[in-house]
Amino acid sequence: MSKILKIFFICSGLFFLSFNLFAVSESPLKIVKVGVLKWGTANWELNTLIDKKLDNKHKYKLEVVGLGSKTASSTALQGGEVNIILTDFIWVNRQRSEGANFTLVPHSFTVGGLITRPESGIKSISDLQGKKIGIAGGPVDKSWIILQAYAKQKFGIDLKDSVETVFAAPAVINEQIIEGNVDAVLNFWHYNATLKAAGMDELISVKSMLKEMDLDSNTPLLGWAFDKEWADNNKELITSFLDSSYATKKILLNNMKAWEKLKKKMKAEDNDKLFISLRDAYKDGIVSEFKTEFINSADKVFTLMSSIGGKKLVGDATTLDPDTFWKAYLE
């Protein structure tokens, strides 16, 4: 064999060896599947996270799974189709009381409020008596439960017996107040933001109700929920997702330019008033870090909500389970 041929084979061997070593070192990133409502506002954060390549930076790949309803979200988590969903701590606690092993880390504070028509004559909670209220989310909607507790504690009014309630889908509830068919509404915060941009008034926010009842207004209602056993066995992976989620929240709190890319997703390309209303309301609910005191405030809010909502809301749970919040992320 010629000297030149020997050199060729040696170089070829070194090339393939180095290529294989590179391939081994560059193994595929682990995937985290997050299920969210297709039209949900959580997509604003997840879109920004992907746009900023924060999943890659934290050494995992984010896969967003669009789902059609809250029921579909819980089913997807329970069936293992996704690793994480966005839901509230009341649901997680209820699932734990029924034997499931879900847990969560805070995502957003309790937001929203009671929206009224300017000409409704409603200037106080006491003025709600005899009025018609539109409510999204059904009879155990969290804002409706808190409003009932507030009216009873501060005004001695049993709203369930003194107002006419209309339960419907969020979009329908907004149509009802715009058309004048109801006097006030309790809707999801982004629908409320749309109403405020259209000239409706917010009589009182959920945050203010909690504060006036001597409860922490910064109580994280919604969180990223997942199976605790899966999280304990994949602590580095779930921590990477949560770290990137909180990093994205800080971007949305402090970088106004990041919001420009979300205008289309927010359906506010040609409406600056709506865009600002949605942006500011979203920012108001951002949880920028997980604090131990959140668990204590959630415990007190749970006690309040269970006293009004009963089993229809909390199931057989009588207290807040110690593992409803994934405290390992605090360590």
> Which CATH homologous superfamily contains domain 31-108+219-330?
Periplasmic binding protein-like II (3.40.190.10)
Q: Is the pLDDT of residue 331 over 90?
A: no
Residues 48, 261 contacting (CB under 8 angstroms): yes
Instruction: Give the pLDDT of residue 5.
Output: 46
Between strands 132-136 and 164-168, the pairing is parallel
Q: Is the pLDDT of residue 280 over 90?
A: yes
Tens of pLDDT, residues 188-229: 999 999 999 999 999 999 999 999 999 998 899 999 999 999
Average pLDDT over residues 275-287: 94
Q: Is the pLDDT of residue 4 over 90?
A: no
Tens of pLDDT, residues 42-87: 999 999 999 999 999 999 999 999 999 889 999 999 999 999 999 9
Instruction: Give the pLDDT of residue 8.
Output: 43
- Global pTM reads 0.88
Instruction: Give the pLDDT of residue 24.
Output: 46
If we measure between CA atoms, which residue out of 95, 109, 72, 99 comes closest to residue 314? 95
How many CA atoms does the CB half-sphere of 305 hold within 13 Å?
34
Q: Is the pLDDT of residue 2 over 60?
A: no
Q: Where in the chain is the domain with CATH 3.40.190.10?
A: 31-108+219-330, 113-212
CATH pick for 113-212 out of 3.40.190.10, 3.40.50.720, 3.20.20.60, 3.30.499.10: 3.40.190.10
Between strands 201-205 and 84-88, the pairing is unpaired
Instruction: Give the pLDDT of residue 3.
Output: 53
